[in-house]
Structure 1
């Protein structure tokens, strides 16, 4: 940043019209922070205590401990606890952040492209960056920072060296876009499309379109498709540039020729025929390419120059993938992009991982950053120190030339080929490795070498979706209500430490596992959260003590055994008391209360952390009276037990489906299980009526085609000759069977998988490691991807096909199936 881009804390207080209390009014601020865990240059950071799903004021202590000394707050804070801190007090911290961004944007005269729409915003932004980076020094939104918080943080990156900004804006309800428009102030506006995505906050498509168009009030040029606007709506822009697949437009696509993994787009522009070959074949990518194409034309590029640049587009790396690596390592694949903003985001994701003692970064040269090489690698060195990275492997001539700037364990190679030839000297073992590189370095070769070779069938777990589902349920809780997350049964089949790390990072209060060995695995992976064990076995009591695992006590026998086991010097060991109010599975019943209270009253060795029960039908309206009766019995038993103690243990009765339907029973804590993964029986009725339930699909199970065969009428398929195609056709053998968790009940056409976007039924019996599907009439080749379940072909649908529940489908996915975790 130039001097003009650096503010003092006193100047910021004036800009946001806040009340300042400073120990150093001249303290410099170069970075803005909303999360105490994702710090960059802490001494010159300003922490905004924003009240969102979590109140930022709760994390001021963490931020101060991590080195931050500048704070903007909206409520009173015990400032004497932070003697070196500067404070700005405002009415609303989010509005103050936006006001500061508006000021900062207005201080810079650069051309700005603003993008909004239902889909494609981030891809269009990243492709425009690829297309225009040779002509402009560009600042852009990191990843998909397009919210009320993300946009101001994006705009804050602007400095005097930038001459083009590309920012995306996303909204969820009426009244939000005007705030983002004031921050972005675009000169060129791009409306990608208007579709059903994110409809929940709007009365109808018209209302959503009008709200999104507010971003473009005052733009010089407005780029859109007539297919995505409505009649009788005034469109913004002094100039308008249009594109369409179906009607006359400035750029009218007249034909799309699919060539396998590429496409030829033929179009009409300025009364001439033009065409471009692009390395994409899916409909979404083709539409996004057309939007970029028309943007180049609107900006004055010739048709020839535009088609040349478009042909060189490369896939946007939208995901950070977490996979198993060789030699007990975990591997984070971010091998498709390289800039300082995405590096910081990737390092934060790396820091969430606690399963290994060492964190390693493999990093290529970074190009087109707008900074001198010396300035860039000094900044990266500082970033690695702040993020506590243990080792750096630098690949490229530039980073190698600046190796003296890095004070951590490091080694350097001139190119990827040189690194791969000498990879054995690195001795990677029991560490988390982030692979981050510019596409030209071909780091996919590095990932391939370091990834564990496993079964081709993959369960993809979307960590963003899981986080969104967690926040969905948290939004329904009153302040102070705790969350216990159920991670038993390999986190419902989705993983172990990978899920627990994320939940710990997002500060859930408790984890729950079924058995002691699950808890031990989490402790060994660096999980420090309190963990309740639901089925404690006497043989594992010693391990529970050593690993600080908290048993669920559900009977007098278990309680007496545990008391007998505990060494005499143990005091106030945490336990959880389970009451049976009608489930009749595990738990104390009312006639146990006298003996239970006597035992607990006469020992100092135990502390009852919580008293809970399990409600049997919180999702089912026909059993609501029984649910109320269960809670009545629970409250009576709780009072009898807690009155004998000198304290009030945590109360909790609700599982996932109860959180939405029974807010009056949230008490002190709720237990969140299958809802984290996108399933809630209490919300299914609303979903069937077309109302969004707010939950996102977390897991996608996919496999691939091994072989394709032509079947003649009368021929049979599979064991027992159970399968046939009466009229003949084609079958594909796919790499999933009952040993992978794909039940034999799905055989003979009961189960269906998505091939080329269309459902293909199974043929014959399901084998141990594979099965056959009918692909007659479908566009399919050996090696093609096959979807077993995703958002479209849902787990709920699969469960219905074999008359079971989503829990069983998800938990049955075998551990031999490779898990890939990704963060967008």
Structure 2
């Protein structure tokens, strides 16, 4: 428990105003969208891509009364009853608070770092060591400078073991993480290519990662990644690998079919065998790291073997799926603790598509009825979550049903809930499923999620958020951002994408047709929405749902004006499009006077923005043409503003314009395909592809030379071959032009080609030269730019043509 006075002693402010010294601090707040229990919150105005000082009044209006600020603008004048601490660096102040909390913890702290496998090893160790220890571990992939600080803040005396994950992407980061985590024990996992751009060499990256273990007592590591290891002599260095000099020697590996691997090991001249329930190399390495850790903590070989055999694959992400009866299902059932629950509830609060919000929650491992602190925190989380319904499953939480004010039901186990499921109406709800692994909530998920065939489009919401921030980072302060969500958000979905964009405070959304905008409004989207192609028959819907039409011709202008006058409306927002050279839609520049004559003599509509579209922003040979387009919009809008007598937003730059034409930013930019991770103009932007189209192998056939495959016998085999039939065809949006070897897909990381013509629901692949089994996963577009080039199109077309019968699965890591 901290007071604001305690915090002041930790961060040593340059200046402070404390109006109430005993103000209790329980929550560290850095994002005003995620405020829980504001009365005990401490807001840090972090300066990153966005300046946290811009959100001080938002935090204040939501009840925050404790602030740590960096910029001193005498904020006490607008925060009269708040405690305010001004420090040199708010990020370092936050980390100092986390470090103080860590130093209060006297039990073992295991730090994990590496290029890959950190989170898996952390979660597996949690499973393996939990019978003996009450373990706290950092939630999900909270391994950054911010994530580690937030993780350590939750560390307390309820636990007697901690596992903290640390990740770095450049030189100088690990020293700060080491200072906070101070691990007593360490694990180094795989060293690969992740984040290699932040280091001059592999050796430098290893040296930086090893800094985490400077003060550790024991370090477990795979020797094959480290030729030599330079660490302080007091550290017990526990290497594992095939080398005889390793403390844990991997004597042999033998696969048992495609389900398990028998590993013979030798420690301290004693041989033992462990059955690892995986066959892939990464899982085997991660499991051996766990075995090595268990040995350093004194576990006997039998216990190790028994527990390793029970390891289960980890689903490390929260998934948003379309459910039955107009529901949205948030599936986050791989683990269940209070920190992970808070993260999931934050995500639930972002969802606006249904007013009814349901939490299905199992007992939380380690939380008992006498654990007043944990039960109290659970109550606070539920109270601040906006839930409308609560369902407990398990013998512990079921006894607390009467202590919650919202409608609550309880079941002793998962089976009893499923048995009564048909009597429960969950229609028109957003449902969060949060269960410990032992409760097998995947059975609940299967009953709630709408059925579809096995072809899915996975959409990474973290990647979309990352891309948004990359492009925001290119924009000067004050330039607004409009996000394009037309064409089902380039195939990625409608309200699911719009919800995330709204949560991240974009300024406008744009759709092609009014019905797309209506769907977003029905999904809870309140942002301004521009309709690019307003049809006269859609005027009622536009006005009723407060959509804002693009006006591009005198026909549309006069028609909409007549409608507004008939409805008796005033100052309805419209967006005027100017044709500066695209020659698709828009008023010609020379029509400005005629346009003004209409706009000046009415008050039914008000110009919200005036914009145009760059025709060739990504083509350097047309730079003079682009410059003229920018000039024409400037001249047009200058005259319009002078004559109308009021200001409006001006915009012309889409993704290519954002990349290459800062002079075209005006007041707002329109982010389209770049938001989804495809940038055709720049290779230096670290955007991440948002969607991955996946299917699986339905059947494998062994065929002889001269056999044919598919319709019209188009696939002629020149040799004895193996073919794989997969569940995607042109009805799913996989273009027929990809047939007969043009299309390339990836199975188990290896490229294969199509064979024969593409069918409506299926196609065939030549898998003769690779190791493949039925039900293996297939990546349809390993490189979507190359795929588009192969059939003479662009990635946009491939994305928007993915059929809506292909299930979208959204995940948030």
- The TM-score by the shorter chain falls in which range? over 0.9
Is 1:770 aligned to 2:762, yes or no?
Answer: yes
Aligned to 2:619: 620
422-431 or 154-163, which moves further after superposition?
Answer: 154-163
Structure 2 distance, partners of 1:38, 1:77, is 26
**Counterparts of residues 59-78 of structure 1 (less than 5 Å):** 59-75=55-71, 76=73, 78=75
Q: Do 1:393 and 1:412's aligned partners in 2 also have CA atoms closer than 8 Å?
A: yes
Aligned to 1:801: 790
Offset, 1:730:
1.8
Offset, 1:11:
1.6
Aligned to 1:488: 486
**Counterparts of residues 521-600 of structure 1 (less than 5 Å):** 521-567=519-565, 569-600=568-599
Offset, 1:91:
2.4
Offset, 1:245:
5.0
707-716 or 667-676, which moves further after superposition?
Answer: 707-716
Offset, 1:22:
2.7
Structure 1 distance, partners of 2:543, 2:41, is 41
Offset, 1:747:
0.6
Offset, 1:693:
3.3
* Structure 1 segments unaligned to the other structure (5+ residues): 1-5, 687-691
Aligned to 1:698: 690
Distance 1:203 1:616, change over 3 A: farther
Q: Do 2:260 and 2:279's aligned partners in 1 also have CA atoms closer than 8 Å?
A: yes
Aligned to 2:313: 315
Aligned to 2:195: 198
From 20, 24, 30, the counterpart of 1:34: 30
Is 1:744 aligned to 2:736, yes or no?
Answer: yes
Structure 2 distance, partners of 1:215, 1:496, is 43
Is 1:218 aligned to 2:207, yes or no?
Answer: no
Offset, 1:705:
2.1
Cα RMSD for the two superposed structures:
1.9
Structure 1 distance, partners of 2:103, 2:768, is 60
Q: Do 2:214 and 2:231's aligned partners in 1 also have CA atoms closer than 8 Å?
A: no
Is 1:151 aligned to 2:148, yes or no?
Answer: yes
Distance 1:335 1:541, change over 3 A: same
Which SS does the other structure have where 2:693 is aligned?
strand
Aligned to 1:95: 92
* Structure 2 segments unaligned to the other structure (5+ residues): none
Structure 1 distance, partners of 2:112, 2:369, is 26
Q: Do 1:218 and 1:236's aligned partners in 2 also have CA atoms closer than 8 Å?
A: no
Distance 1:92 1:371, change over 3 A: farther
Normalised to the residue count of structure 1, the TM-score between the two structures is: 0.95
Is 1:249 aligned to 2:249, yes or no?
Answer: no
Structure 2 distance, partners of 1:504, 1:53, is 17
Structure 1 distance, partners of 2:242, 2:321, is 39
Aligned to 2:170: 173
Distance 1:64 1:453, change over 3 A: same
Offset, 1:234:
5.3
From 781, 791, 802, the counterpart of 1:813: 802
Q: Do 1:161 and 1:370's aligned partners in 2 also have CA atoms closer than 8 Å?
A: no
Q: Do 1:459 and 1:818's aligned partners in 2 also have CA atoms closer than 8 Å?
A: yes
Offset, 1:373:
4.5
Offset, 1:371:
8.0
Q: How many aligned positions are there? A: 809
Structure 1 distance, partners of 2:94, 2:370, is 29
Offset, 1:159:
1.3
Offset, 1:226:
3.0
Structure 1 distance, partners of 2:582, 2:234, is 64
Structure 1 distance, partners of 2:414, 2:74, is 51
371-380 or 460-469, which moves further after superposition?
Answer: 371-380
Q: Do 2:369 and 2:396's aligned partners in 1 also have CA atoms closer than 8 Å?
A: no
Aligned to 1:162: 159
Q: Deviations over 1:502-536 (max 9, x none)?
A: 11011111100011000000001100000111111
Offset, 1:455:
2.1
Q: Do 1:361 and 1:391's aligned partners in 2 also have CA atoms closer than 8 Å?
A: yes
Structure 2 distance, partners of 1:637, 1:717, is 60
Structure 2 distance, partners of 1:349, 1:109, is 33
Q: Deviations over 1:332-370 (max 9, x none)?
A: 111221111111111111111111110001111111248
Aligned to 1:344: 342
Which SS does the other structure have where 1:644 is aligned?
helix
Distance 1:418 1:534, change over 3 A: same
Distance 1:72 1:491, change over 3 A: same
**Counterparts of residues 150-549 of structure 1 (less than 5 Å):** 150-229=147-226, 238-245=235-242, 248-258=245-255, 259-369=257-367, 372-549=370-547
